[in-house]
Structure formats: C-alpha cells, structure tokens
Structure 1
Amino acid sequence: MTTTRTARELAEAYFTAWEAGDFDTLRGLLAENVDFVGALGTASGVEAALAGLKGLGQVLEKIDMKVRVAEGDDVITWFDLHTSVAPPTPTANWMHVDDGKVTRIRVTFDPRMLLAGFERPS
C-alpha cells in the first residue's frame, strides 16, 4: 500500500533534506516540472531548482523554523535562514503540492545582507 504524504509532511521533509544537504531526497520530493521563484532567482524544472538549492546550500548553516501553516495542497513556512555569509534572514516560503510532489515554490526575503555576504572577498 502506498501512502501519499500531505503537503505539510512534504514541506517538513523538504526543509529537513535541504538543511542536511540530502539532494537525493530533495529530488524525490520535487515534481519534474517544479517552478521556483525567489528573491535570488527563478528556476524551471527539477534540475534547475536543485542547482539553486545546492548553490545556497553551500553557505547554509541552519534553518530555524518559526511556524508552518498548511491548508489543503498549500504550505507556508516562516523561518530564519542562517548562513555563513550573513546574519539570520527572516524568510517566507510558499509551496504548492500536486499528486504528492512539490510543483510550485515561492520564496521571499530581504536579500541585501546575503548579496553583500556573497560579494565579500574570501
């Protein structure tokens, strides 16, 4: 018997996998045609979305989840994004799920400190 995860469960698995750098698990959660729009860019398709998650994953230290609200196939997660290049960044992430996979992700935050951190010489 196959059990389909709820949108909330998918969101929890997504953030756990991303924080752990488990991109194989992330791939399994995303639809092939996942559509991502965020403050640092856009991505169409699973490969482009994973590339973006891996890129930010290089500086990701911790995801400090504050609240997650789910209604039907939609989930909004509010968290502080902790990175090695900037102070914690308050972030909102909205996901939409179809047929047990994440199909749409929208992320918003103030990117100024992250961008400044990326520009600092190593």
Structure 2
Amino acid sequence: MTTETRTRQIVRGYHDARFSGDMPAAVAHLAEPFTFQSPLMSSADPAGHLAGLPGFLQVVTGVDMISELYGESEATLVYDVHTATPAGTQRTAEHFRLDGAGITSIMLIFDGTPWQAMLAMMGQAPPDTATAKPSR
C-alpha cells in the first residue's frame, strides 16, 4: 500500500464517519497529540473537537465532495456542506496532517460570518480562537 493510499483511507474514513455521525469511528482516525482549528473554534484533543458534532449534523442536509488531494502525510478536501440554516450551502476546505498513528491536525477553512450571526441570535458567542486554551 502506498502512503498516499493509506492517507486517503484514513482521511476519507474520518470524513465519512464524521458526517454519518459515527463518533467512535471518527475518533479512531485521530492521533495524539491532535489539534483542530476553524474560524469558530479550536481544540487540542479529539473529544473536544467532536463535541459539537451531533448538534451540527442535525442541520446538515447533504455533503458534496468537490476535490480530494492526498500526499504522504497530508491531505486537502474541498466540499460543500448543505444546511437547513440561513447559511445555506457552506463551501469548505479542510487540510489534514498525519503521522504513522493517524490525523494529527485539521485546519477547517470556511466563511464563518453567517455562523457567527446565527450564534449571536441564539445568545451564544463563538469561542475566541485567538485565546482558546487547549482542552486537555
């Protein structure tokens, strides 16, 4: 098996498990140490990263993959997340870094503006990613 094939299996396994709501399978693809960063939050452990996933999946109506790029120790996915929210369809890029044990970091890139407005309307402030502390 080539390293690109292994990278693809891990990253797509994680992606598919996450969007199907299978948290144990998603976590199984993550390594320690692990970091996650997005426009709305950051986390330094797999459990913290996936904590809000069940609520998010309640508003997801579909995911359309646009592009998948795989290397030896990194991957990038570009996809549209369709939601039943005022945000509608969210174009998303996700960059992964891997080591021998699995995914060590994820950087999620999207326009967080519509989500910040929705959180504010619900009386919830998004975490300040500039000062967020690792949750270990």
TM-score range relative to shorter protein: 0.7 to 0.9
- Structure 2: how far apart are the matches of 1:36 and 1:54? 17
Name the % identity: 26
1:78-118 residue CA offsets vs partner (Å, 9 max, x unmatched)? 00111221211111100011113110000111112233344
Q: Is the 8 A contact 1:6 1:100 kept in 2?
A: no
**4+ residue runs over 4 A deviation:** 118-121
Larger CA Rg, structure 1 vs 2: 2
Partner of 1:79: 79
What one-letter code is carried by the residue in structure 2 that aligns with 1:28? A
Structure 2, unmatched stretches of 5+, are 123-136
- Structure 1: how far apart are the matches of 2:8 and 2:62? 20
Please state which structure has a larger fraction of its residues in strand. Answer: 1
Partner of 1:30: 30
- Structure 1: how far apart are the matches of 2:40 and 2:63? 17
Range moving further from structure 2, 90-99 or 45-54:
45-54
SS of aligned partner of 1:39: coil
SS of aligned partner of 2:51: helix
Structure 1, unmatched stretches of 5+, are none
- Structure 1: how far apart are the matches of 2:60 and 2:17? 12
- Structure 1: how far apart are the matches of 2:101 and 2:111? 30
Partner of 1:64: 64
SS of aligned partner of 1:6: helix
RMSD (Å) for aligned C-alpha atoms? 1.8
Aligned residues: 117
- Structure 2: how far apart are the matches of 1:62 and 1:119? 25
What one-letter code is carried by the residue in structure 2 that aligns with 1:14? Y
- Structure 2: how far apart are the matches of 1:54 and 1:42? 17
- Structure 2: how far apart are the matches of 1:98 and 1:14? 15
What one-letter code is carried by the residue in structure 2 that aligns with 1:94? H
Instruction: Say yes or no: does 1:112 pair with 2:113.
Output: yes
- Structure 1: how far apart are the matches of 2:93 and 2:28? 22
